[in-house]
Structure 1
Amino acid sequence: MSQSEGGAGGFVAVIPARYASSRLPGKPLVDIAGQTMIERVWRQALQSRAERVVIATEDERIQRHVEALGAEVVLTSADHENGTSRLAEVVKRLGLPATTRVVNVQGDEPLLPPALINVVAQSLAEHPEVAMSTLAEPISDLDTLSRASVVKVVRDTYGRALYFSRAPIPWQRDAWSDQGPLGSDARAAFDSAASGWFRHIGLYAYRASFLQEYAELAAAPLEMMEQLEQLRALYHGYRIQVEVTDIEYPAGVDTPADLERVRHWLEMQS
């Protein structure tokens, strides 16, 4: 491991890859235009400025596959409740120094732009007072704002997260009814304040020391309600830096329909 991994010049990218998936079993090993999904994610991460790219999996089939590609892999416990706790095990197993920046690259995002990995890692380097950094992009339409599958984030004046929610936050009090941000009046209000809403992008950078601390934190009531693991950090008083990016962030693969969409997109590019 390079000594610069703990400083501003380099970081470690870790790709959690679970074989089990209720909506798409064996997801990391599905074929996407001649490459498995995990291979595509790994190759995208290799194009970032990461000095080390590690795949973390609980499954020996994935381990054998990525080792054949030449990837570094850590076989982790199958009992982790989320990707963050899996990263904590990787940090411990690899003996990473406390100041090492670790970027969590989701294993189901084969189209992830490498530049976004660099942005979130650089944000953490520039903000030594925070434990985590992540990304967001402006929400440009009411339909997106209203969908519970789209996580919203509100930031303070320093760009730190105040809250994450599946609800449409902040709430336009004088324009939206009890039924939500719907109707022509609501759309007019949205258009007049279009800079007020942001979609959270689920790409994180952590300090290795925080990952070890996170593994010991009790689950938070807000986290359980929203089903958003980053709320555990906020609930326990940790700061999260949120950078707004204009780099397009393609949706990941969560369902068979998502898989076909990505396959079709790649076919159109070839």
Structure 2
Amino acid sequence: MKIISMIPARYSASRFPGKLMQDLEGKPVILRTYEATVATQLFDDVFVVTDSEVIYDTIVSHGGKAIMSQKEHECGSDRIAEAVEHLDIDIVVNVQGDEPFTEASSLQKLIEVFKDDKDKQIDLASLMVHITDQDEINNPNTVKVIVDNFNFALYFSRSPIPYPRDKNINVKYFKHKGVYAFRKEAILDFYNLPMKPLEASEKIECIRYLEYGKRIKMVETHVEGVEIDTPEDLERAKKLWK
């Protein structure tokens, strides 16, 4: 089984333009993420796939591997799909470019899902984190996921799911972390299938997989990490890095 990691890296970002090239203790965020992913030693290869010559040149000049996207893409999955279409691989793991604290244990859990799936019944695996803070539960920027008894995803939403109509019921809320592992066939299907209304409404790309009947195995992790979406996140990351 050949397993690679792809790190989609778009230069522009609505909340924090150019965030991937911001300095994190002497190196750009995207380079920190790339090096952390390589350091896990879990992958046969690691690539940054980008629309930016600046990001491409940064990775390559430091001895890394990068691929320039040939088309414009709306999401990271599309960018990865174009890059892997003609590669001889089985599994591709999407590591977000703005997560320089990527660590091995969570990624290992995703890979084990496919190693244990002898009948190839699982199309994707992804990470979730138990959350209890009410502000985070209600924050539309935090994507929540609900799962069945076997930890297969039932739905993703920016709204609190499940809705707590009965306050006396003790339910757990899970934040979806945007780290995915795909079978190559699944991500190519995503690339070629049109967006449907639920995905378009929520602006959550993994809903497309559910709408077309793909099976997403969720894996709980206790590693929160730091996603750099704002200048404030970058300052937190700098303190944590020290």
Instruction: Calculate the TM-score normalised by the size of structure 2.
Output: 0.93
Give CA deviations for 1:146-169 in whole Å, capped at 9, x if unaligned.
Answer: 221211111112210000011111
Matched ranges for 1:133-144 at <5 A: 133-144=125-136
Q: 1:23 & 1:171 partners in 2: Cα distance?
A: 28
Give the SS at the match of 2:85.
Answer: helix
Matched, 1:118 2:94: no
Which of 215, 219, 229 is residue 191 of structure 2 equivalent to? 215
Runs of 4 or more off by more than 4 Å in structure 1? Answer: none
The one-letter code sitting in structure 2 at the alignment partner of 1:222 is: L
Q: 1:42 & 1:85 partners in 2: Cα distance?
A: 19
Q: 1:32: Cα distance to partner?
A: 0.6
Q: 1:131 & 1:210 partners in 2: Cα distance?
A: 6
The one-letter code sitting in structure 2 at the alignment partner of 1:35 is: K
Which of 55, 63, 74 is residue 67 of structure 2 equivalent to? 74
Q: 2:173 & 2:159 partners in 1: Cα distance?
A: 11
Instruction: Calculate the TM-score normalised by the size of structure 1.
Output: 0.84
Q: 1:143: Cα distance to partner?
A: 2.6
Residue 258 (structure 1) aligns with? 233
Q: 1:26: Cα distance to partner?
A: 2.1
Which of 41, 48, 55 is residue 62 of structure 1 equivalent to? 55
Q: 1:78 & 1:263 partners in 2: Cα distance?
A: 34
**Identical aligned residues as a percent:** 33
Q: 1:138 & 1:256 partners in 2: Cα distance?
A: 25
| Structure (1 or 2) with the larger CA radius of gyration | 1
Residue 155 (structure 2) aligns with? 163
Residue 122 (structure 2) aligns with? 130
Q: 1:82 & 1:71 partners in 2: Cα distance?
A: 23
Q: 1:60: Cα distance to partner?
A: 1.3
Calculate the aligned-residue CA RMSD, in Å: 1.5
* Aligned residue pairs, count: 239
Matched ranges for 1:16-55 at <5 A: 16-48=8-40, 49-55=42-48
Q: 1:57: Cα distance to partner?
A: 0.8
Q: 2:173 & 2:114 partners in 1: Cα distance?
A: 23
Q: 2:28 & 2:110 partners in 1: Cα distance?
A: 25
Q: 2:88 & 2:15 partners in 1: Cα distance?
A: 34
